[in-house]
Amino acid sequence: MSERLPRKVLVTQRFFDAESLAYLHANGCEVELAQLADGQADGDFSEDQLQALLADADAWIVGHAWITASLLGRLPRLQAIARRGVGYERVDVAAVRASGKVATIAVGGNDASVADHAVAMMLALGRRLGDSKARMLNGDWTIALGGDLYGKTVGVIGLGRIGRGVVKRMAGFDARVLACSPKPDWSYGREAGVQFVDLDTLLAESDYVTLHAPLNDDTRLLIDASALNRMKPTAVLINTARGGLVDDRALLEALLDGAIAGAGLDVFLSETDASYRATTDALLVLPNVVATPHSGASTHEGLQRTNLIAAQCVVAVLNGETPPAPCVIADGRPISGAL
């Protein structure tokens, strides 16, 4: 009997840890780590480049590349696409099913990391940490008065795993928590001390508005000029979810006009629409904006968790098994109970 060839797994993400690599090796996988230039992400690769990288791959651990019908049609050997993350708006799930492949996300891996990041942005803006450091670097040690997170009203839009993580953290600040969700979980609300309200009420009453909704047709540009004008002039907006939830041009105008007090941004519309790049640059220089480069999930611990979940999903598919149900976003195999 001929020896079984290793299953090849291509990883197009940085920071793939030794434990997850060892797991793949232990399960008969040969792993190739794509070489990324400084500042480059897999979303920057053309379809031709991706085809060349994936031509002999059985599975792909991916970050932000677009998974299209055209690309999948050029990769007959590929069986599994595992996102090291939880958003999948760049994955054509119908095309995955039609191609007979499986696509997964790393559910539960980065929830805590992103929730921490959102709270860190609230604290940084409330206590004016970035502004204070900039003043000190210019020789101005005048105290810039900030505000407490303690006792404030925090509005959470989207109560998935990350949103609930933020709610849990707010208990330590004795915060009043409002939430807006398309399907309110009233029993959870009672247990967690969350008051479900409509979007208008949340915007009008919150001192901090933090976004944790998925990006879809219902939520795209949810926070537009009208929404921003319904917020308190002392309020702060936090977006660690998806850039498409906020109209960044309207946000810039609101910040310049004093319609709101500040913004914490880990995601930007310019990530998917280059025409917003000048808007992003203008936001970054404002003293009342705290910004990070879509790094809310990128802690050592968070990436180790998501790496391993993605690796486990890949091995399950290559073994002809089904990954954990919450991780599966598309399963096109003929006898799999496909979604």
Rounded to 10 degrees, the C-alpha dihedral 184/154/234/266 comes to: -90
Residues 37-71 pLDDT 10s: 988 889 999 999 999 999 999 999 999 999 999 99
How crowded is residue 98: how many other Cβ atoms within 10 Å of its Cβ? 14
pTM: 0.89
**Three-class SS of 109-167:** CCHHHHHHHHHHHHHHHHCCHHHHHHHHHCCCCCCCCCCCCCCCEEEEECCCHHHHHHH
CA–CA gap between residue 86 and residue 81 (Å, rounded): 13
Residue-level pLDDT at 32 = 97
Residue-level pLDDT at 329 = 97
Rounded to 10 degrees, the C-alpha dihedral 165/171/176/178 comes to: 20
CA–CA gap between residue 245 and residue 55 (Å, rounded): 35
Query: What spatial distance separates the first Cα and last Cα of the chain, rounded to whole Å?
Result: 36
> Does residue 198 sit in helix, strand or coil?
coil
CA–CA gap between residue 99 and residue 101 (Å, rounded): 5
**What is the second-level CATH architecture of the domain 111-291?**
3-Layer(aba) Sandwich (3.40)
CATH number of 7-109+299-331: 3.40.50.720
Catalogue the E-assigned strands of the chain. Answer: 7-11, 29-33, 59-62, 80-83, 102-104, 153-157, 176-180, 194-196, 208-211, 236-239, 262-265, 289-291, 328-331
Catalytic residue among 7, 117, 128, 271: 271
Distances (CA, A) of 209 to 21, 158, 166: 39, 11, 11
How crowded is residue 141: how many other Cβ atoms within 10 Å of its Cβ? 8
Within the chain, which residues score under 70 in pLDDT?
Answer: 1-5, 336-339
Catalytic residue among 294, 300, 305, 321: 294
Residues of the chain with CATH 3.40.50.720: 7-109+299-331, 111-291
Residue-level pLDDT at 87 = 85
Residue-level pLDDT at 336 = 46
Indicate if 242 belongs to the active site.
yes
CA–CA gap between residue 275 and residue 45 (Å, rounded): 19
Residue-level pLDDT at 4 = 52
Catalytic residue among 90, 242, 253, 277: 242
CA–CA gap between residue 71 and residue 68 (Å, rounded): 5
Residues 283-329 pLDDT 10s: 999 999 999 999 999 999 999 999 999 999 999 999 999 999 999 99
